[in-house]
Amino acid sequence: MPIAICYKAILSTNGRISHRPPLEDRWAEARISRTLGGILIARAERATIPGLENTWHPNMINCLDIRIWQSFSERVNAHKGKIIANNNYIGLLPGSTVMVKKDPRSVRYPGEGIETENNIYQRIQGHGIGPDFLGHLVEAERMTGFILSFVEDFHPAGPEDLEICQQTLSKLHALGIRHGNISRYNFLVHNNGTKATLIDFARSVRGLAPELEAEMNALPEELEEADPKRVINMNGSLYPINQGELLTRPAFSTSLDGRPRPCPEPDTIP
């Protein structure tokens, strides 16, 4: 059974915790709250926190082995100079840059979207549809996400890329899967013109033939989507993006004091 620990502590005058509760070393989850009388109550449990269920890939990558570089959003939503980021992060492993996919909405209950994506990547692995699946992200012996190869030198799809996007979407449909969100920003067209990599399978489901045909027929209109000037907010810094372009690696990131610092290259990781 989980062991619950309750502890009382007085808050300091500035509202901060004057000292942390003496939690056991092996606690897995803690809740801290404040009463009207200014009392801090902490509860720690040796609870088993569930993770994603389908561990189909042999590679298990500890989250502590990855150096998170910055948040990254393939779909950029400009609103008063800010963006709504998704759950993608650029991470650094020794010798390589990777995409880290982790659902930030809930620690205890992972979102259905990332579980769906994990299952879809199992279905499409080796079919040349999405980024290479490199392994599961493991945190305290539970799976909280996954690691993908980092796609570089690409641009979001436009009307001129219709044929190459149709080729990739056809491969997905051949497996009986409807993507569910064929935004032009979910097709990463390689600048060498060889292929388009499809991403974001959170809404993907099994599709009947009429549904797959309807999705394919909707693709030309999706690629015609207007592309206003957009801004990516990475680690507190604003990066303007020219129309029709998507920034994949900024010239610099931001340190805690707000001053720019060079982004590290994979081979410089200690």
pLDDT at position 206, please? 95
Average pLDDT value for the chain: 71
- Other CB atoms within 10 Å distance of the CB of residue 149: 15
Residues of the chain under the 50 pLDDT cut: 1-15, 74-85, 105-110, 228-270
Which 8-state DSSP code applies to residue 105? S
Is the domain spanning 60-152+252-264 CATH 3.30.200? The answer is yes
The full set of domain ranges for the chain reads 5-45, 60-152+252-264, 154-223
Q: Sheet with 88-93: list strands edge to edge.
A: 60-62, 133-139, 142-149, 96-102, 88-93, 67-71
User: Using N-to-C axis directions, what is the helix angle for 162-174 and 209-223, rounded to 10°?
Assistant: 160
Rounded to whole angstroms, what are the CA distances from 119 to 11, 130, 139? 46, 13, 19
DSSP-assigned beta bridge partners for residue 40: 9, 34
> Would you state the pLDDT for residue 27?
59
Q: What fold does the segment set 154-223 form as a domain?
A: Transferase(Phosphotransferase); domain 1 (1.10.510)
